[in-house]
Amino acid sequence: MHYQEDKVLDAFDLYTKLARDGKAGIDAVNLYKADDEVRSLADRFAAHVDCVLILAGDEILMIPETRLSPFHVNNDYIKRTYLRSGATNGDIYLLYFATIVLFGSFYDSYQTQEPTRNFLKLDEWVRAVQERIEVLREHDEETIRSYEKEFSYNWSLIIEKWEAMNDIKESAKKQTGNTISRLSFIHTVRNFMIDQELIEEIGNDEVMLTEKAKAIVQRYFMEVEYNKGILEFLYQWEEESHAID
């Protein structure tokens, strides 16, 4: 297919802004929606770097689709920027796990395209992670190993990392240098998700999902070919979905 020069330049300008900022505003959204050729070209430019373009409210976002993308946030960066000295891949797995749990806390099934709650308190988030850990612990080692192969998540290490943390208040007077509380870890995950523009603080230790997060959940977490199996596994939504169907 041959494209007019002005269409190519418009699409490249859009891609350049997205590559620089990760998002573009309403003018870009209108152009992307209105012009099929610009949209097709912009999508192709993004796909070339393993990214996908997603509309989220009045913004268009460029989201890395695989770890091969140069725009993917790599584990070493997360360790250096957010986690304490000596952090391992296990801490990264737990951070991702806590992120998935937060998303799951805002939705009650695959029948729901919009969040079923407006905000989540940090202490509720801690309890939600603990509940999911307890669900994992109900399975025997052989079952856990089979789930690790199926979902490519090291569930055993996630359980170990969470249970090694101290379930103490942030205001506690005595903490050893090697002690980290579960609430403290959730604060770390919160900071990561705020920087990634996935959640916003609204005061009183409460957070809400951004339009970017909602778009990502709808695109990836609610689609069969992506992460549906993981949320089914953690939240047992499958039985509920079938019952509703």
Return d(Cα 195, Cα 184) in angstroms, integer: 17
Report the SS3 class of residue 121: strand
pLDDT value for 215 = 87
In the chain, DSSP finds a helix count (H) and a strand count (E) of 12, 6
pLDDT over 70 for what percent of the chain?
Answer: 77
Domain with CATH 1.10.10 in the chain: 5-64
Using alpha carbons only, what angle is made at residue 220 by residues 154 and 210, rounded to the nearest 5 degrees? 105
Scan for tokens 């709808």, then name that residue: 218
pLDDT value for 175 = 43
pLDDT tens by residue, 32-63:
999 999 999 999 999 999 899 999 889 999 98
Stated pTM of the model: 0.78
Report the SS3 class of residue 207: strand
b/e sequence 154-175, b meaning 16+ C-beta within 10 Å:
bbbbbbebbeebeeeeeeeeee
CATH number of this structure's domain 5-64: 1.10.10
pLDDT value for 41 = 95
- Amino acid at the residue 117: R
Q: By C-alpha distance, which of 74, 92, 93 is closest to 156?
A: 93
pLDDT tens by residue, 212-240:
999 888 877 665 555 545 666 666 544 44
pLDDT tens by residue, 128-186:
999 989 888 887 777 777 766 666 678 888 889 999 987 754 444 444 444 579 999 99
Higher confidence at residue 211 or residue 72? Answer: 211
